[in-house]
Amino acid sequence: MEFNTIYNNLFYLVPEIAVSAFLLLVVLADLILGNNKKLLPYLSIAGMLVAGFCVMNQMTFSGAVFSPSGQSKSFGMVTVDSFGAFFKLLVVISTILVVFFSFSSEEIKKSTRRQGEYYTLILGMVLGMFLMISATDLILIYLSLELMSLSSYVLTGFTKLKDRNSEAALKYLIYGAVSSGLMLFGISIVYGLTGSTNLYVINTLLQSPQINMLALGIAGILIFAGIGYKISAAPFHFWTPDVYEGAPITITAFLSVASKAAGFALLARFIKVTFVSSVAPSGHWLLIPVFPWKELLIVISILTMTLGNFTALWQTNLKRMLAYSSIAHAGYLLLSVAVLSNQGLVAMLVYFAIYAFMNLGAFFIVMIIANKIGSEDLEDYKGLGYSMPFLGVTFGMFLVSLTGLPPSAGFIGKLYLFIALVDANMITVAVIALLNTVVALYYYIRVLKEMFLSKPTGEPVSLRLSPLSLILILVMLAPVVIFGVYFTPVVEFAKSCITILGM
Amino acid sequence: MNIYDIVFYLFAAITLASAFVVVTARNIIYSAFSLLFTFFGIAGLYVLLGADFIAVVQLMVYVGGILVLILFGVMLTNKITSVQIKTGTLQVIPAILGTALMAGVLIKIFTGTNWHSQMAQYPTKTTAYALGHILLTDYVLIFELLGILLLIALIGAATIARKEEKAS
């Protein structure tokens, strides 16, 4: 590859370059400004806005860049397409919200002197996610996954005032190291079978008949283990409750939305680019018959959602409950991948666009209440609906949306998922998912019951919301309410964003 | 069996045997020292594969750098030499079943698979030039990303190591 080509390729990587530049700027500003850390969050937000703007510019065009020499032009290491742009926008929006969360988080305020590191690591995570979303080379997939994981391990243990923070970080690191080891082993088997790390090249080689199915099957499972860990799918979810409980709430919210989004984007792209031979006119993907992705994903997703929902029933800590609820949501989202069609992809994008707002909103309100009463236990929420009526009502709306009841936006997300499932003739699976939603109703509503129907135990607490918190809640509430009744724009937008550059 | 095979099995035996000691030794100093032989054996395997540059890097970075750091860490930590590491066995039967199954599948894979292979091209000169060229052209993105990954790792390590100060 000539230097000229590299230079031309850089144009496609503008969002990633912007994020890296602002990452370095934050490091430098932290050093130069000394004790004045006020500017750093604004610098990170500026970085995200610039990156978001660059992503918007890339919305319409697609292409593969950084193809190793000797390969055809369309076989790149990084693929830029509208599917990736959608997820990058989602990451940008949730990062901006999380940075705003950090303004009002008591946990983060306690370690003001280390703000520089905090925002650097958040930008590091964003860079990892951006590359994960558009990677089509196994080396880049592994490296971007590591970049994201490494930053999130540190962020999980960022506040060191409580033992459970360090415990969470250590658990996250150990489980994470095992899963990335498994993934790397799977990658090495794939490389041994095909002699290439490029997903497009692997795709063409898989269509030849002399591939050993057993070896490829094990490799597929191992690579799925690495991705499944990031999206907390069932057998790899053990870390989720402990890490979500121990991490600062801002980071918990970030992990549950942005890093999950990046994981799902990676999974969908990996399957589509590597294992799909062609797309039927009806939008269904024709798998190369080497690995039973559909069956594997269906089993895992049913396991994930059932386990998440049923374990959430017994939780008394709200952060833990929301952790199990996010496992359950990962189950629903896996179903949208299991459909293996363009319609499933639309359902996934719509679901994610809504899930991001409602989950961030729920975590934000838990954080505000925890700032005030210093606890996330359900016991302490008794009667809070009366002492903090605004928070109680908005929290209720987020929870109803997470359940998926009409007329909230969560309902639309689930509706499109079920339509995609029924269209793909997966009726039994749809029924199981529906029954799961009924179980979910119980534990979400239980919180509301404690808040509104129980007598307050201690003396009533009053809370004055800062204007920033009020605006943030309204910003997150607006999509949850509006998309519930007026959902055409988000669906149309999702439909325009399902181009995954592939076979 | 030619000389190449003999050397290969020699290095493989060194690697495996010392790796076994690393995980089973009850004294952490023994573990750290036998790690030296594991790294050395792997460097030998790299040489046999014609990867001279990686072999040298393996010796310099792992044996020269990381291992010395580990030994320093072990020596400077109080009481660590007398600490009994818990290498006890729990759940023996499930563990044996699990590892046997895993070993069976892996052996089946490694013997039964038609691996993608090509004739080795022994480099006539050092591979450092070709590696450097490819790192700055085809894999320049990976190379730059590694730089950022290391920066993040440094910042992260500093963050973790720093003591929490009370907010002023």
B1-110, CATH topology level: Four Helix Bundle (Hemerythrin (Met), subunit A) (1.20.120)
CB contact (8 A) between residue A13 and residue B141: yes
pLDDT tens sequence across A16-52:
999 999 999 999 998 888 777 788 899 999 999 999 9
CB contact (8 A) between residue A68 and residue B138: yes
H/E element holding A64?
strand A63-65
Domains held by chain A: number: 1
Tell me if B155 sits within 8 A of B148, measured CB to CB.
Answer: no
pLDDT tens sequence across A372-388:
888 888 888 888 888 88
A359 lies in some domain? yes
How confident is residue B168, by pLDDT bands cut at 50, 70 and 90?
very low
CB contact (8 A) between residue B149 and residue A143: yes
Phi, psi angle pair for A195, to nearest 5°: 75, 20
A493 lies in some domain? yes
Packed helices A39-58 and A82-103: angle between N→C axes, nearest 10 degrees: 160
Determine contact: A220 vs chain B, CB below 8 A. no
How confident is residue A503, by pLDDT bands cut at 50, 70 and 90?
low
Encode burial over A382-398: b for 16+ CB neighbours within 10 A, e otherwise. Answer: bbbbebbeebbebbbbb
> Does A305 have pLDDT greater than 80?
yes
Determine contact: A247 vs chain B, CB below 8 A. no
Packed helices A467-485 and A409-423: angle between N→C axes, nearest 10 degrees: 40
State if pTM tops 0.90: yes
A158 lies in some domain? no
Which one has a higher pLDDT value, A308 or A283?
A308
- Looking at chain B, the whole-number percentage of residues with pLDDT higher than 90 is 35
Tell me if B81 sits within 8 A of B74, measured CB to CB.
Answer: yes
- Looking at chain A, the whole-number percentage of residues with pLDDT higher than 70 is 97
Nearest CA in chain B to A16: B145
Residue A411 is predicted with a pLDDT of 92
Residue A69 is predicted with a pLDDT of 64
Angstroms from B149 CA to nearest CA on chain A: 6
Q: Closest Cα partner for A114 from B147, B161, B153?
A: B161
Determine contact: B111 vs chain A, CB below 8 A. no
CB contact (8 A) between residue B148 and residue A157: no
> Does A71 have pLDDT greater than 80?
no
Determine contact: A190 vs chain B, CB below 8 A. no
> Does B67 have pLDDT greater than 70?
yes
> Does A124 have pLDDT greater than 90?
yes
Across A399-409, average pLDDT: 89
Across A131-143, average pLDDT: 93
pLDDT tens sequence across A228-273:
998 988 888 889 999 998 899 999 999 999 999 999 999 999 999 9
Determine contact: A187 vs chain B, CB below 8 A. no
CA-to-CA distance for A481 and A489, rounded, in angstroms?
14
Segments forming the whole domain that contains residue A407: 293-503
Across A122-137, average pLDDT: 94
Of A1, A120, A210, the CB nearest to B114: A210
Across A335-354, average pLDDT: 92
ipTM of the complex: 0.90
Question: If 0-12 CB within 10 Å is exposed, 13-18 middle and 19+ buried, where does residue A61 land?
Answer: exposed
Across A45-67, average pLDDT: 87
Interface of A with B in 292-351 (CB under 8 A): none
Determine contact: B152 vs chain A, CB below 8 A. yes
Determine contact: A45 vs chain B, CB below 8 A. no
How confident is residue A351, by pLDDT bands cut at 50, 70 and 90?
very high
> Does B167 have pLDDT greater than 60?
no
Interface of A with B in 63-82 (CB under 8 A): 66, 68-69, 77-78
A498 lies in some domain? yes
- Please report, for residues A12, A23, A40, B88, B138, the alpha-carbon distance to residue B155 in angstroms, rounded to integers and kept in the order given: 28, 12, 16, 36, 28
CB contact (8 A) between residue A212 and residue B158: no
A310 lies in some domain? yes
Of A13, A127, A192, the CB nearest to B115: A192
pLDDT tens sequence across A438-470:
999 999 988 888 888 887 766 667 777 888 889
Write the CB contacts of A243 (distance below 8 Å, at least 6 apart in sequence): A156, A168, A169, A171, A172, A252, A255, A323
Angstroms from A82 CA to nearest CA on chain B: 21
Determine contact: A158 vs chain B, CB below 8 A. yes
